[in-house]
Amino acid sequence: MQALVVGAGIGGLAVAGALARDGWQVTVLEQAPGPRTAGYMIDFFGPGFVAAESLGAITHLQRRSELYERARYVDPTGRTRARFPMDSFLNAAHGKFFSILRPDIETGLREWVGNSATIVQGAKVVSVEPGRCPDAEDPGMPARALLADGRSFEADLLVGADGIHSAVRGFLPGTPASGVLRHLGLHVFGYVFYDPELAASLGRDVVLSDSLVRQATLYALSDGRVTFFGVVECSDPDPDGDAREDLIKQFRGLGAHVDRALARRPAEIFEDVVALAVVPAWSAGRCVLLGDAAFAVSLLAGQGASLAISGAKVLADALGSGGNDIPAALAGYEASWRPVVEQQQEAGRRNARFFVPSGRRALLLRRWSLHLMSLGPVNAVIARRVFGASVVGKGHPAP
Ligand SMILES: Cc1cc2nc3c(=O)[nH]c(=O)nc-3n(C[C@H](O)[C@H](O)[C@H](O)COP(=O)(O)OP(=O)(O)OC[C@H]3O[C@@H](n4cnc5c(N)ncnc54)[C@H](O)[C@@H]3O)c2cc1C
């Protein structure tokens, strides 16, 4: 059986490796000319960690990971206003937690996939025919993907893992052309830069700004690089170039570390809207959506990468080695996985104000919650409030 995967992001690579493991011949179509290097630090935990373990991919990720000792909220004068030990998360996630750069997850997954799947770079998909499975009256039709350069590919199965602004999604009958993304009123920026002096001063602390309507976070990497990750209030879901430049200027004045990080930003930075994808049906014919294309939970739920990998395993397990009834497998995947992602989307909505307080009261509440978090017995309660039940204790899904 042949599978086409659109997108060599985290979800696409994970499903490519999982299907290849089960005997599928997999071709991945990726629009970028080479591996993408953009992105910032992701805290990796939850069902994706468990899935990566069971797929045999975890060591490829773990060897690129970092661990931090504390998170500190620092005000513009440099004063630490709240702090908590990172082992709060490590304990809440039963030790299955690390921090890793988004591009390093892709590098680790590419290493894990190896030659088991063919990855075609520079392959931008512009049109999809979802195809049909055969039945008594219909011989069926393969799924097809047409590329911008005129090439076309067909297969028994097409997985749309092409991210939050998915092109594949638009070709699923029954999916509205607009209104699928729920903007959470925030915009995000991220980049990595080399600054050993700043890295040394940050040490093993994650340093977050204690600020209203915007938040900047800095992590130092062991090799002298530093990652900047900023979230800022923005009512426009699609700001133009100048507006984006203005948005990034809004992080100025949050303290000497942040100003230094802004001064060193590279030409190419990751930036996107913070949104949920609420898609009425994840599949049609031989075509199915995965990851942010189907169920973006937003960075505020802290689980986009984790759910993309675990969703990939759930999908591959439902399909088996290809002998399974494809429509039934796709329906089974959605029925089991939709409730899990809906719970995380709810956490994403709830967390918006925790991440970026818009008033002084919310800021004080966050300081107080973080203070509570530093007191051992309530760690799990706060962690559940922040990340949802699927990370902590009961309700942890086993993909
Ligand atoms: C460059 C980049 C940087 C990111 N940085 C962060 C980050 O730092 N922190 C964070 O929490 N999340 C980040 N994200 C989002 C995060 O990777 C996803 O939320 C999560 O990993 C789910 O992954 P996904 O595979 O569903 O989608 P994505 O990771 O978005 O991957 C989708 C892939 O599909 C490709 N693609 C899109 N359209 C087409 C097309 N028409 N034809 C062919 N290929 C196509 C894209 O180039 C991309 O490689 C980033 C995404 C990207 C693309």
Phi, psi of 66, deg, nearest 5: -130, 155
- Pocket probe for ligand 1: among 102, 229, 298, 345, the residue whose CB has the most ligand atoms within 8 Å is 102
In CATH terms, the fold of domain 2-180+275-387 is: FAD/NAD(P)-binding domain (3.50.50)
Residues with CB under 6 A from ligand 1: 6-12, 29-32, 36, 38-40, 42, 102, 123-125, 161-163, 167, 190, 270, 291-293, 299, 304-305, 308
**Consecutive H or E run containing 364:** helix 360-373
**pLDDT tens-place string over residues 354-391:** 667 777 777 777 777 777 766 654 455 555 554 444 44
What residue segments make up the domains of the chain, in order of their start? Answer: 2-180+275-387
Give percent helix, percent strand, percent coil of the chain, each to the nearest 5: 40, 25, 35
pLDDT < 70: residue spans in the chain? 243-244, 322, 351-355, 373-399
Whether the CB-CB separation of 75 and 211 falls below 8 Å is answered with yes
The C-alpha atoms of residue 146 and residue 374 are separated, in whole angstroms, by 53
% of the chain surpassing 90 pLDDT: 59
The C-alpha atoms of residue 86 and residue 248 are separated, in whole angstroms, by 28
Q: What per-residue confidence (pLDDT) applies to 348?
A: 72
**pLDDT tens-place string over residues 279-299:** 999 999 999 999 999 999 887
Whole-model pTM: value is: 0.90
**pLDDT tens-place string over residues 59-80:** 999 999 999 998 899 999 999 9
Q: What per-residue confidence (pLDDT) applies to 185?
A: 87
Q: Which residue lies with its CA nearest to atom 3 of ligand 1?
A: 39
Q: What per-residue confidence (pLDDT) applies to 353?
A: 64
